[in-house]
Structure 1
Amino acid sequence: MTQEKFDTIYQRAAERKGGESSLEARLHQPLSSEEIVKITNNQWLAHFTMKVFQCGISWQVVRNKWQGFEEVFFDFDPELLLMLSDEQWEEKARNPKIIRHLTKVMSIPANAQMLVDASYEHDSFSKMVANWPKDNVTGLWEYLKKHGNRLGGNTGPYALRQCGVDTFILSSDVEAYLRNTKIIDSGRNTKRALKAADAAFAKWHQESGRNLTEISQIVAYSFGENRF
């Protein structure tokens, strides 16, 4: 099946959302590369931790506890957190100011180490992300999955989007569209599927000049139940 032209997708999304002006008003924009570079390791770790804890429970429950998280985990300073012993981490995991879940708590030092390691290798984690090739954004997802902890599936991509990184998301609606149009025909996180998704979004980017964040939202609005 020939890949659908982006303009066709856009027009369908506009029709479903009350016209082009209404559709455009719904679109969120990513940060620029210059803005991404300014994100601190503390901010990255906070966003990664929030998404890890939001997985499987109400996002609002995590938000309601967030002040406690910031207090217990030193405002997510990776250098300070990596000085803690295993016993201290176990103690923090029992603190009633946070959501007590040892496995998820232990993702924090693992992801802190990823940030510190990337900073040594690339000068900063933010510079690595800002310079990541746009036609291989799923490679960045794989980096988070391989070097981080509990950042596989959609957790890593949603954390990146929350930080303002330009990335598409394989949300329920986007995945359904890609399957319906035969762009992907294997497991969502297989190399084959991710490569096909990268190629499709790169082609739509070339056609439209739009960023991946916009394209992802427009694809979602053009198909399915729009839970995006």
Structure 2
Amino acid sequence: MAKLEKFADILSRACERKGGLEAVEALLPDTLSAQEITQYSDAELLSVMSKRVFQSGFVWKVVEHKWPAYEKAFFDFEPHKVLMLSPEQIQQRATDATLIRHQKKTQAIVDNAYMVQTLSAKHNGFAKLIADWPVNDIIGLWQLLKKQGARLGGNTGPYFLRTIGKDTFLLSQDVQAYLKAHKVVDAGFTSKTGLNQTQAAFNHWQQESGLTLAEISRIISLGVGDNRL
């Protein structure tokens, strides 16, 4: 792994491209405190997670438009109620014209309800598990979601975390392009080596800058490429 660029230089480049520090700061994402994250219910988290699964590779506006129907069809995403659905009821929802016809993503709602319920019981709340997870090992939380959940690999799990306010970086195309161009990562981004190299770099920049992982990730994006955030 090459020597890391000073974060002040990364920020300076973003400011130059976007018209100054104030303009950059206006584009930075917000994060919530651990205490705020613990206020989420299991149902709220399952709903957000499921929406992110459906939005992956699909038109987000369509998913948003149909989501009230999902809330009704899946009992407001209360995990224990979702888990009471029979295979026939799940199949009916997967082919319902008022929803999105996708068997595997519909089944993922049920599979992730099981994960949320199981981890919630083990950690005194699924939200508490997320809130307490150290951000200097955020890739560990990504891997937990991918391993124990359904269709939460790639950027889906991280985008779910970003949506609920958990501090995390995102491996957007622009961030990946920067990390590769500057030889910060010399392995695949889905590999253990690549993820560890990425985490180490972000931890370094966080200590150097005092910013959140989310802010650092966004600033890198603003300084390169087409700014796919």
TM more than 0.5: yes
- Measured after TM superposition, the shift of residue 12 of structure 1 is 0.7
- Measured after TM superposition, the shift of residue 136 of structure 1 is 0.7
1:1-228 equivalence runs, <5 A: 1-228=2-229
Cα RMSD (Å) of the superposition? Answer: 0.8
In 1, the alpha carbon distance for the partners of 2:58 and 2:131 equals 30
Query: In the TM superposition, what whole-angstrom CA distance separates every residue of 1:206-226 from its partner, at most 9, and x where no partner exists?
Result: 001111111110111111110
TM-score for both structures, normalised by structure 2: 0.97
In 2, the alpha carbon distance for the partners of 1:43 and 1:36 equals 11
Which aligned segments of 4 or more residues in structure 1 are displaced greater than 2 angstroms?
A: none
In 1, the alpha carbon distance for the partners of 2:120 and 2:73 equals 24
Question: Sequence identity of aligned pairs in percent?
Answer: 46
In 1, the alpha carbon distance for the partners of 2:73 and 2:86 equals 15
Query: In the TM superposition, what whole-angstrom CA distance separates every residue of 1:127-147 from its partner, at most 9, and x where no partner exists?
Result: 111111111101100000000
In 2, the alpha carbon distance for the partners of 1:48 and 1:119 equals 15
- Measured after TM superposition, the shift of residue 168 of structure 1 is 0.3
TM-score for both structures, normalised by structure 1: 0.98
In 1, the alpha carbon distance for the partners of 2:97 and 2:42 equals 25
Question: Helix, strand or coil for the counterpart of 2:84?
Answer: coil
Question: Helix, strand or coil for the counterpart of 2:26?
Answer: helix
In 1, the alpha carbon distance for the partners of 2:16 and 2:53 equals 36
In 2, the alpha carbon distance for the partners of 1:105 and 1:62 equals 13
| One-letter code aligned to 1:134 | V
In 1, the alpha carbon distance for the partners of 2:201 and 2:186 equals 13
| One-letter code aligned to 2:207 | Q
Contact 2:3-2:184 at 8 Å conserved across structures: no
- Measured after TM superposition, the shift of residue 55 of structure 1 is 1.3
Question: Unpaired runs of 5+ in structure 2?
Answer: none
